[in-house]
Amino acid sequence: MVSQETVLEALRTVNDPEMPINIVDLGIVDAVRIEPGADASGSRVVVEILPTFVGCPALPWIENDVRKRLGAMPGVTEIDVHFRFDPPWTVDRISPAGRESLREFGVTVPQRRDHCEPETQTPQCPFCGSSQVHLESSFGPTRCRMIYYCESCRNPFEHLKRIPVPVLFD
Amino acid sequence: MHELNDVARKALIQLLLAVADDKLMLGHRNADWTGLAPILEEDIAFSSLAQDELAHASALYQFVADLTHSQADRLAFGRKPGEYRCAQIVELSDDFNWATALCRSFFCDHFEALRLERLARSSYTPIAQLAARLLAEEQVHVQHVDSWMHRLGRGDDDANHRMQEALDGLAPLAPMLFEPTESQELLEREMIYPQSEPAMFDRWSQNLLEVARDAGLTLSLQRPTAKIIGGRRGVHGPAFPAALDEMTEVYRVEPEAAW
């Protein structure tokens, strides 16, 4: 029997191709819908995904993995993967488990915060926990990451970017 | 609003092609700096910025492709020169002059952020949603280029002089970014591309003048004349054919290839 839970469970085995975090913990799976398939014997699964960055090159890989994984589920006959930007993805959508697996990998995530709070927290070094860190470059190996340097253990590490969602006045 | 009539759709396509073509060309130009930027951090930065621009262009071409039942790759690389809608300032080579590359981004990124802000308030929801997301990323570009205007404008005499020279060289071309695309006034009237308050040119020049002043640079900008027939109507500068040729070289080998 195909259900939201079993689909989400399957999606938890789909990883971001560039970081050890699954797409559910990354918070990019915004909705899963189960609908009757064209032929009555199976189900159509619709997965709505929020890209972290516009045109992120990982998206085709993710879509492909999602299709492969869900296609292997008994009872699934059709799969629709949609990408949309509303609501926008933010780093606050990353689950606590996801944050932990990124930290172990050496990538820190900005602290969760309310929309209006200014960004004041500097990250703690994922290797030694020190707060003696400085921003080395606002750009990094991928468009969603920047580079910090830890002055205590002298390691560079990566920090996910918080892209402020613009507040539009009317 | 989720439906466009034929006239509005055609006008929106022209506008979005202008946005996408500017970004494609700027991304192409910025990518020239990969491996060659003056310091490693800027090498990474310019490569990331170029990747952003190309990704934005790609999302916009896909949007237009969905409106026209065409293909994004064909729109990006398969049109005739006269069908491109980019402004002349993004077509120029910077001749590997770092000051020129920064000043070009300075004019273009500020312009882009304001244009996307208008689109993000569009009555046509699908483009408003995409533009809001693009705008968020574009604001990072503006911060980046502004910080370099300060750093070099307030650097030593040589740095200041080179920045001033680059700024002076590009300032006459920059206002042509504002040339309207075909039937743009219809999009403005129907709030598909709502006017900003104060008007976009005033906000743009005010933002630029403020940054330039803080950076110890002088800048004067001419309000664009009503009738420029330039890039937005497919009339391009002398640098464009060669740039397009280079950019489409791989595509032309095998237009139907899947990547």
Distance from CA of A122 to the nearest CA of B (A): 18
Q: Does any domain span residue A165?
A: no
B126, burial (CB in 10 Å: exposed 0-12, middle 13-18, buried 19+): middle
Q: Does any domain span residue A139?
A: yes
- Residue A1 is predicted with a pLDDT of 75
Residues 6+ apart with CB under 8 A from A166: B117, B120, B132, B135, B136, B139
Q: Which of A83, A112, A132 is the last residue of a domain?
A: A83
Q: Which of A37, A62, A83 is the last residue of a domain?
A: A83
Same domain, A141 and A111: yes
Contact (CB<8Å) B41/A139: yes
Instruction: Tell me which chain B residue has its CA closest to the CA of residue A50.
Output: B133
Q: Does any domain span residue A115?
A: yes
Report the number of distinct structural domains present in chain A.
Answer: 2
Question: Mean pLDDT throughout A127-140?
Answer: 91
Whether A140 and chain B come into contact, CB under 8 Å, resolves to yes
| Closest by Cα among B204, B202, B225, B209 to B167 | B209
| Closest by Cα among A129, A135, A132 to A104 | A129
**Is A127 strand, coil or helix?**
coil
Same domain, A73 and A18: yes
Q: Does any domain span residue A90?
A: no
Residue range of the domain that includes A75: 4-83
- Residue B138 is predicted with a pLDDT of 93
Same domain, A75 and A126: no
Over residues B73-99, the pLDDT tens digits come to 999 999 999 999 999 999 988 999 999
Domains detected in chain B: 6-253 (1.20.1260.10)
Same domain, A78 and A109: no
pLDDT higher at A39 or A54: A54
Contact (CB<8Å) B132/A165: yes
Q: Does any domain span residue A166?
A: no
pLDDT of A142 > 90? The answer is no
Q: Does any domain span residue A71?
A: yes
pLDDT of A6 > 90? The answer is yes
The proportion of chain B whose per-residue pLDDT surpasses 70, expressed as a percent, equals 99
Same domain, A30 and A77: yes
Same domain, A107 and A79: no
Q: Which of A51, A83, A115 is the last residue of a domain?
A: A83
pLDDT of A170 > 50? The answer is no
- Residue A21: give its domain's CATH number: 3.30.300.130
Q: Does any domain span residue A167?
A: no
Structure tokens at B161: 């002089």
Same domain, A107 and A155: yes
Q: Does any domain span residue A75?
A: yes
**Is A125 strand, coil or helix?**
coil
Amino acid residing at B180: P
Instruction: Tell me which chain A residue has its CA closest to the CA of residue B45.
Output: A139
Same domain, A138 and A78: no
Same domain, A68 and A125: no
Over residues B105-129, the pLDDT tens digits come to 999 999 999 999 999 999 999 999 9
Structure tokens at B209: 């003048």
